[in-house]
Chains A and B, each alone.
Chain A
Amino acid sequence: MNLVHKFKETCAAVLPICAIVLLLGTTIVPLGKELLSLFCVGSFFLIIGLTIFLTGAELGIVTSGAYVGAHLTRSRKMPLILISGLVIGFLITIAEPDLLVLGNQVETVTKTIPATSMILAVAVGVGIFVAIGLARVLFQIPYRLILIAGYIAVFALASQVSPVFVAISFDSGGATTGPMTVPFIIALGVGVSAVRGDKNALEDSFGYTGIASIGPILAVVILGFILAGNAGATGALTIIAHSANSAGANSNGIIAQLSRDIPQNARNVFVALSPLYAIILLFQVFFMRLPRELFRRISLGFLYAWIGLILFFVGTEIGFVPTGKALGEALGALNNKWILIPVGCLLGAVVVCAEPDVWVLTEQVEEVSGGNIRKNVLLMTLALGIALAVGLSMCRVIFGFSIWYLLVPFYSIAIALTFVTPRLFTAIAFDSGGVASGPMASTFLLSFTLGASVAVGGNPATDGFGVIAMIASTPLVAIQLLGLLYHRRETRALKGGEK
């Protein structure tokens, strides 16, 4: 059955991380029994949580998203489609727990932007870009065009704004595309395309997440302009780094921590999921009227997604954040600092496989392409891309050069590749950029990088947040290259068939 199958898959995804961490923690950099046992408990929660969440996401979030998308297109009412896109994008973003944390950090730092206005700006950004994504498909505007326009705007504005906001804005691009929003946005796109009969439908199934993650970056950069000059630029970064550092640092017994973490996460995840469910309910009552059995399955799916996410977040908080930080610090304190680079590559490659949204995306791709683009091939490519991203970030931690030297070439190559890559792969590539920078990256890898950076003596703030921006950019190139390979193989196979 699927639950057992999913359990095996998540074990295969999470156990390698455990093996690597335990190996490093007992040999090169002794981490202590207490931390390692916390890490094991955390991994257990993570595996169980991920299994339940993926089952629930497939049953509830993905299914309902596809029905809403299909229903919207079939209604053939342009205003309804655009307004729904706007409202859905806005509502699911405003409830994202990561965004709330980020908003609070920004408030403490700048003292001039209240968290609410930052969150509102980001949510409006996502809403507008989801609507743009829908409109693009209806008016048949090339995906490439939107991307080029979007990213040129982002880079042009970001180069003018103070560096604090560059870090915050690229980070909010990653934070908004969290585990609740991504499956729904992906499924919405798949649903919109499913009712189409033309041959471009497959290509247009994906790409919404890629477009949606431009929104928050732009929104925060623009906020940065409004507030330019009155923010304490350098002080800001260190405070963010500190608050990220202190998270999960105190460990006073597993039981005490669980009794605090579980109710807190239960509330956060509930707040995040309820607007989504409310949207479905609204559609069900007023527009869709899905059959009873189907709706029961969707509701159960939401329940499972809720339980799964609680366990997942508890697992990352008690196990992965403190261990990642300790590991980074210990490795950075060694005499041979270069060891950070290979370890970073290795961790990056395995951690991305434990990212919940990565699984949702790869599964949807496999399903939509009718099994033509295999899940494992996509996962491997992503793992390679993220390995490169984390490896390069470790170089940055050691040598301390500016992130612009990496971001500009990667995005330029990614945009250039859109001209030659099959369009389906371009869309998948830009989706995976937002998808790969999910909760695992922003907990485990971020704290690992911050820890390393503190130990090396660099600037933890800019280096730490750089890792997320890097993780979001390397898949753009990696997946598009994969697309080129696929395309060449396919044309060769077709030629062979004709003979």
Chain B
Amino acid sequence: MKYDWKIYTIVNHGLGEKIARLTRIAGARGGTILVGRGEIDSSILRALALADIEKDILLTLVTDDQLEGVVTLIRELQFYKHKNDGMIFVVPTGEKAMKDETPHEMISIIVNRGYADDIMKEARKAGALGGTILNARGTGKPTDEKFFGITIVPEKEELIILADSATAPAIREAIEALPCLTTAGIGIMYTMPVTQFSVLGKKC
């Protein structure tokens, strides 16, 4: 079996496991849940630093035949409480990637811990509508630094921004221009083509 598609489902914290259980019915063999944080779409709350919201990021690998079934299942679920409870998009893996132009792009930025909020602020100015921040650890150095019995690894943050292909270049440029990111070795950024993007929420 070839898993050609990776489905990203980003929903409010707590829903991830429910969805993962249900996707098995539609044929998916499993799923991995990461915990991250997003922001509510309100500039006043953001200014007060009260807009944070915990998110589950469910990653599901599926084959060609399973893709439609799983994506429709997640989209049509009944338990979303608000109009916008999250989103779903699909990233092609392997040879499927990069064949056609896609309407959306996923921008991933991996930086030293602490910078993601500043980057998000800048990305918003350039037209990004939102982003999700994950905590992570780096293993980039060929030899990890040792200190007594302890191995020290760099702490990282990964910021995922989904943007339509028209605004994505502007966002990337704005992030690249950030003064705090001019130091060498502070992080990396890359984009991936994305299909099947839709907002998850209560149907009106």
Contacts and interface: CB of A to CB of B under 8 A. Distances in A.
Interface of A: 1-3, 5, 55, 59, 67, 70, 73-74, 76, 137-140, 194-198, 290-294, 296-297, 300-301, 367, 370-371
Given A5-B54, A291-B118, A367-B35, 7 more contacts: A1-B52, A70-B155, A73-B150, A195-B155, A196-B151, A292-B118, A294-B118
Interface string B13-37: 0000000000000000000010100
A371 B33 contact: yes
Contact of B147 (A59, A138, A367): A138
Interface stretch (B42-50, B89-97, B192-200): B42-50
B16 to A, nearest CB: 9
B49 A296 contact: yes
* Residue among B150, B151, B154 with most chain A CB within 10 A: B150
A55 B152 contact: no
A297 B147 CA distance: 31
A197 B151 contact: yes
Contacts of A59: 49, 52
A195 B147 CA distance: 11
Contacts of B115: 291, 294
Residue with the greatest number of chain B CB neighbours at <10 A, chosen from A137, A195, A301: A195
Q: Which of A67, A74, A140, A370 gathers most chain B CB within 10 Å?
A: A74
B150 A138 contact: yes
Interface string B154-177: 110000000000000000000000
Interface stretch (B63-71, B102-110, B137-145): B137-145
A371 B139 contact: no
Nearest to A296: B49
A368 to B, nearest CB: 10
B147 A293 contact: no
B114 A291 contact: yes
Contacts of B148: 138-140
A291 B180 contact: yes
B149 interface: yes
B146 to A, nearest CB: 9
Contacts of B145: 76
Contact of B152 (A1, A195, A300, A371): A195
Nearest to A60: B49
A195 B152 CA distance: 5
B150 A198 contact: yes
A140 B148 CA distance: 9
Contact of A1 (B45, B144, B155): B45
Contact of A297 (B45, B54, B117, B152): B117
B54 A2 contact: yes
Given A1-B40, A2-B54, A59-B49, A197 B153 contact: yes
B121 interface: yes
B117 to A, nearest CB: 4
B98 interface: no
A427 to B, nearest CB: 16
Contact of A140 (B33, B121, B149, B153): B149
B53 interface: yes
B30 to A, nearest CB: 12
6 contacts: A1-B45, A5-B54, A139-B149, A197-B153, A291-B180, A371-B35
A3 to B, nearest CB: 5
B113 interface: yes
Nearest to A2: B52
A196 B50 contact: no
Interface in B49-90: 49-54
Question: Which 4 residue pairs spanning A and B have beta carbons closest together?
Answer: A197-B153, A197-B151, A140-B149, A293-B118
Contacts of B118: 291-294
B53 A197 contact: no
Contacts of B48: 300
A229 to B, nearest CB: 45
A55 B153 contact: no
A411 to B, nearest CB: 29
A423 to B, nearest CB: 15
Nearest to A135: B148
Contact of A196 (B49, B53, B153): B153
Contacts of B40: 1
Contacts of B54: 2, 5
A457 B118 CA distance: 62
A55 B137 CA distance: 25
B52 A196 contact: no
B121 A197 contact: no
B50 A1 contact: yes
A195 B148 CA distance: 14
Nearest to B42: A1
Contacts of B154: 195
A76 B145 CA distance: 10
Contacts of A70: 113, 155
Given A290-B114, A293-B117, A293-B118, A195 B153 contact: yes
A196 B139 CA distance: 11
Contact of A300 (B49, B114, B151, B153): B49
Contacts of A293: 117-118, 121
B149 A138 contact: yes
B117 A370 contact: no
A138 B148 CA distance: 6
A371 B33 CA distance: 10
Contacts of A138: 147-150
A139 B147 CA distance: 10
Nearest to B16: A371
A196 B33 contact: no
Contacts of A194: 137, 155
B24 to A, nearest CB: 16
A196 B115 CA distance: 20
B52 A74 contact: no
A76 B49 contact: no
Nearest to B38: A1
B117 A294 contact: yes
Contacts of B149: 138-140
Contacts of A195: 152-155
A2 to B, nearest CB: 5
